[in-house]
Amino acid sequence: MHRFHYNQGQLFCENVSLQSLAEKHGTPLYVYSKGTITDHFTRLDAALGELDHLICYAVKANSNLSVLSTIAKLGGGFDIVSAGELYRVIKAGGDASKCTFAGVGKTRDEIEYALSQGIYCFNAESEAELEFINEVAGKLGKKAPVAVRVNPNVDAKTHAKITTGKSENKFGIDFDRIGAVYARIANEMPNLIIKGLQMHIGSQLTSVDPFVEAVKKVSPLVAEMKEKYNLQFFSIGGGIGINYRQSLDSGDAGWWEKNSAEQHPLTIQKYADSVVPLLKPLGIRILCEPGRFMVGNAGALLTQVLFEKRGGAKIFKIVDAGMNDLIRPTLYEGWHQIVPLKQVEGEVEKVDIVGPICETGDYLAQDREVAPVKAGDYIAAMSAGAYGFSMASNYNTRPMPAEILVDDSQAHVVRDRQTLDDVLKGEHVV
């Protein structure tokens, strides 16, 4: 499932030592494995092979141009949520006609830009949005392709901040309203072309059951809308969870599939075996919109231990990466495996791994048993390829980290580390 492993006591990404990257490029530093991204795409693509399908990678998970380029070259499409993400996709060599545009708050400028680039479809989240897209398209003399996002009211049983398929969430239109909405589009919105139907029930799902429940519930609706309005696709969304607790003793991409049933019951094969038989009878193109699955285990955040602080209640390892670099632990209580770049001997210690930000919530791990690393040592927060750099900020006027893409034995700088001048660019004293 990933290509990070120890070799003679040093942690490697594919065939590159992470210690060497930290020493050469400094920390904090994001490192991604191109081989892992490629493997995840091709395995999911093969698993859906019985269906006419398109994998639309969710750009928000990791929007680095080289990551997008890797997926575009594999034939992937993209799930975007802003004009900026569409701009990135095009700059990376992606095809706008393979892009679906989601999100509840699309602006006029964004809709106009997406129409000018010839996107595949807008995934509309409300009737008001459909009316607005119809108005914008009409003024441009264009027809806008649309799909309605249905809210199936299925509990994904994931973190409250990343569930999207329940009736109290802001996303989508209520299930029992969909028929009337499609009728409105067909009869009252002449500048829209009905193209599909979309759903997405949440992120980081570790059981196939919510997927099965949602597909079973929505499939009859798809069949009905296909009969009435000639739907071209059904998007089943993303949400395939990843294993944040992985072995680093093997670079075998199949290790996860064979040995993690107890830790993480959802595998790609189990996912496909469960949903493909339900989708195949629909006889319609299936879109899948994975984000975290594609890149999460493909990345690591490298950081250096600055100081150790031993208090009466806790031991703190203070590192140079903060919540501005990786906010998941603070925002979602996200758990990341913490490992040294050089294996060290000695008993593990229960510590807090904390950053330099002036916030109590600035931590990478709390009450975590880790190797006895000391000041000067480098450590890695694993499985940081999704919602890591893409959610980073300049809080505390801290420059953004550099990003590295490893391809076998080659390490490419795919984003330069910001300078302080970069951070201040565009500001003016009056």
Question: CA 327 to CA 387: how far, in whole Å?
Answer: 8
Q: Which residues contact 341 (CB under 8 A, 6 or more apart)?
A: 10, 11, 18, 19, 22, 302, 377, 378, 379, 380
Q: Is 288 a catalytic residue?
A: no
Q: Can you tell me whether residue 246 is helix, strand or coil?
A: coil
Please state, in angstroms and as integers, the Cα–Cα distance from residue 214 to each residue in 165, 222, 289, following that order.
Answer: 9, 12, 15
Do residues 185 and 194 make contact, with C-beta atoms less than 8 angstroms apart?
A: yes
Q: How many helices (H) and strands (E) does the chain have?
A: 13, 21
Please state, in angstroms and as integers, the Cα–Cα distance from residue 147 to each residue in 193, 196, 233, 308, following that order.
Answer: 9, 4, 9, 54
Is residue 306 exposed (0-12), middle (13-18) or buried (19+ Cβ within 10 Å)?
A: middle
Q: Which residues contact 300 (CB under 8 A, 6 or more apart)?
A: 4, 13, 18, 30, 31, 380, 381, 382, 383, 384, 385
Known binding positions for pyridoxal 5'-phosphate: 239, 289-292, 387
Is residue 360 exposed (0-12), middle (13-18) or buried (19+ Cβ within 10 Å)?
A: exposed
Known binding positions for substrate: 292, 328, 332, 359, 387
* β-bridge mates for residue 180, sequence order: none
Question: CA 75 to CA 100: how far, in whole Å?
Answer: 15
Question: CA 78 to CA 295: how far, in whole Å?
Answer: 14
Phi, psi (deg, nearest 5) at residue 15: -115, 30
Residue linked to tokens 């119809």: 134
Residue of 13, 99, 121, 358 marked catalytic: 358
Q: Can you tell me whether residue 423 is helix, strand or coil?
A: helix
Do residues 337 and 301 make contact, with C-beta atoms less than 8 angstroms apart?
A: no
Burial 83-93 (b: 16+ CB within 10 A, else e): bebbebbbebe
Question: CA 346 to CA 68: how far, in whole Å?
Answer: 41
Do residues 289 and 361 make contact, with C-beta atoms less than 8 angstroms apart?
A: no
The C-alpha angle 105, 108, 112, rounded to 5 degrees, equals: 120
Known binding positions: 239, 289-292, 328, 332, 359, 387
Question: CA 208 to CA 273: how far, in whole Å?
Answer: 10
Active site (catalytic) residues: 358
